Amino acid sequence: MGEHATDAERWWPHLSIESKHAILDDPEAALPDGVRREIAELGGDAPERLAPADVQFIRTQIEAVD
For the stretch 1-54, pLDDT in tens is 445 566 899 999 999 999 999 999 999 999 999 999 999 999 888 889 999 999
Q: Are 12 and 59 in contact (CB under 8 A)?
A: no
| 49 φ/ψ angles, rounded to the nearest 5 degrees | -135, 150
pLDDT at 19: 97
pLDDT at 50: 93
Q: Are 22 and 50 in contact (CB under 8 A)?
A: no
Q: Rg (Cα) of the chain, in Å, rounded?
A: 10
**Helix 33-41 × helix 17-25 angle, to 10°:** 130
Q: How far apart are CA 41 and CA 30, in angstroms?
A: 18
